[in-house]
Amino acid sequence: MERDKSFRGNASQFFVAGELCRREYSAVVPLGDTPNVDILCSNRERSRFVRTQVKTFIPGKRTCSVGVKTKREIGPSSFWILAGMPLPASSRPFEYYIIPSKVMSQKISQAHGHWLKMPGANGQAHRESTVRIVHLPTGKCSDRWDISPYLNKWKLIEDKPRTKTSI
């Protein structure tokens, strides 16, 4: 049985923050409404700084829903982390897709534009929506963006260039 999505979403932010801490980053989950930021993190020297948006899915599912704000590029030090958090009784591992904001913005905009042009199940036109879908690599489909190269790509965060100012 799936639990309330808000609990899963909150928990996944802490799992991602924990993974960043395990990799020797300082990770902070801001409380309250912080636009475009679920986790702030920096390296020990405070010379690298990134902000992340976390979206949660259940490993084994075919899609991860994201909002319309994914079409905006937030900046070069921003990432989307699609966090696959298994259900408590599951033996599946956690899955993390670390995607630069610029890539997410471009790919989501392209995919949504393509979806709008395609007819629906009964031939009707699709209507504009605030939901965007990322197809997970559970099955290959040639006309969809393959996010599998971003699985556990923590190195993208680790390799961010030094920031000009510290936190």
**What pLDDT is stored for residue 71 in this prediction?**
63
Work out the number of other CB atoms within 10 angstroms of the CB of residue 22.
Answer: 10
**What pLDDT is stored for residue 1 in this prediction?**
45
The first and second tokens of residue 17, run together, are 């923050």
140: which residues sit within 8 A by CB, 6+ positions away? Answer: 146
**What pLDDT is stored for residue 140 in this prediction?**
56
CATH assignment, 5-158: 3.40.1350.10
The first and second tokens of residue 93, run together, are 């591992």
Name the residue among 61, 115, 109 with its Cα closest to residue 83.
61
**What pLDDT is stored for residue 149 in this prediction?**
94
Amino acid at 128: E
**What pLDDT is stored for residue 14 in this prediction?**
95
Domain coordinates in residue numbering, the chain = 5-158
Residue-by-residue pLDDT tens, the chain, 167 positions: 455 778 888 899 999 999 999 999 999 999 877 878 999 999 888 888 899 999 999 998 888 888 767 666 777 789 999 999 999 899 999 999 999 999 998 888 888 788 888 888 888 888 888 888 888 886 555 557 889 999 999 999 988 766 655 44
Note the pTM of the prediction, 2 decimals: 0.84
Q: In the 8-state DSSP scheme, what is residue 92?
A: P
Work out the number of other CB atoms within 10 angstroms of the CB of residue 6.
Answer: 9
